A and B are shown apart, each in its own frame.
Chain A
Amino acid sequence: EAGVAQSPRYKIIEKRQSVAFWCNPISGHATLYWYQQILGQGPKLLIQFQNNGVVDDSQLPKDRFSAERLKGVDSTLKIQPAKLEDSAVYLCASSPGASGGPETQYFGPGTRLLVL
């Protein structure tokens, strides 16, 4: 079974520029998550989708971050404009259940973003 795919793997941009990340979850997984992991910290949930609906986006900085899940499959996360403090690894994860409950999540390799 193919795992969670993410692209690009690395991205370097200047502050105030925009950037987009893409995630393709494991086939058939109903729930998709985007996490932000700042160096030396644990991942922090930014947004959770169930199929193509948003379940939790309480920690998403909505003035600059946006995310969508196309037809309940692929997802994109966008930052516009980027700030220095957005430098982090952005992890995408998926889980099979439609309830988005306490089940095992499968993580992609992440996109490492550096904002200069």
Chain B
Amino acid sequence: KQEVTQIPAALSVPEGENLVLNCSFTDSAIYNLQWFRQDPGKGLTSLLLIQSSQREQTSGRLNASLDKSSGRSTLYIAASQPGDSATYLCAAYTSGTYKYIFGTGTRLKVLA
């Protein structure tokens, strides 16, 4: 059974810092892994989708990497801004379940 874990659960950093959010999954038989952003009272917005054959994806100040063998993905945010404050969720699409299994999220606060 796929389990997705995100560490840390919460993070507070000063503006301008580079930071890394971690996502671990127990079943390496995944098709892809997505990172989402969730703002309070709002739905989820897809940030990056990494296919199982890819090692990383980049969008602006965001870079996500995937290491299937170790069951890990990281989301790197460069030069963080207060507008980056949100909850970040990762979700793994697993061949066994054929659905996205979500982690519990990392709540990020970037201080001005």
Contact = CB atoms under 8 A, between A and B. Distances in A.
Contact of A109 (B41, B93, B98): B41
Label chain B's interface by main secondary structure: strand
Given A48-B99, A91-B44, A109-B41, A40 B104 contact: yes
A41 B104 contact: yes
A105 B105 contact: no
A112 B32 CA distance: 29
Interface residues of A, number: 22
B46 interface: yes
B4 A42 contact: yes
B104 A42 contact: yes
B34 A104 contact: yes
Label chain A's interface by main secondary structure: loop
B99 A107 contact: no
A113 interface: no
Most B C-beta atoms less than 10 A away, residue of A40, A41, A107: A107
Contacts of A61: none
B25 interface: no
Given A56-B98, A101-B98, A107-B44, 5 more contacts: A42-B89, A42-B101, A42-B102, A42-B103, A102-B31
28 contacts: A4-B43, A40-B104, A42-B101, A42-B102, A42-B104, A42-B105, A43-B89, A43-B102, A45-B99, A48-B99, A56-B98, A91-B43, A93-B43, A100-B98, A101-B93, A101-B98, A102-B31, A102-B32, A102-B100, A104-B34, A104-B49, A105-B46, A107-B43, A109-B41, A109-B42, A110-B41, A110-B43, A112-B41
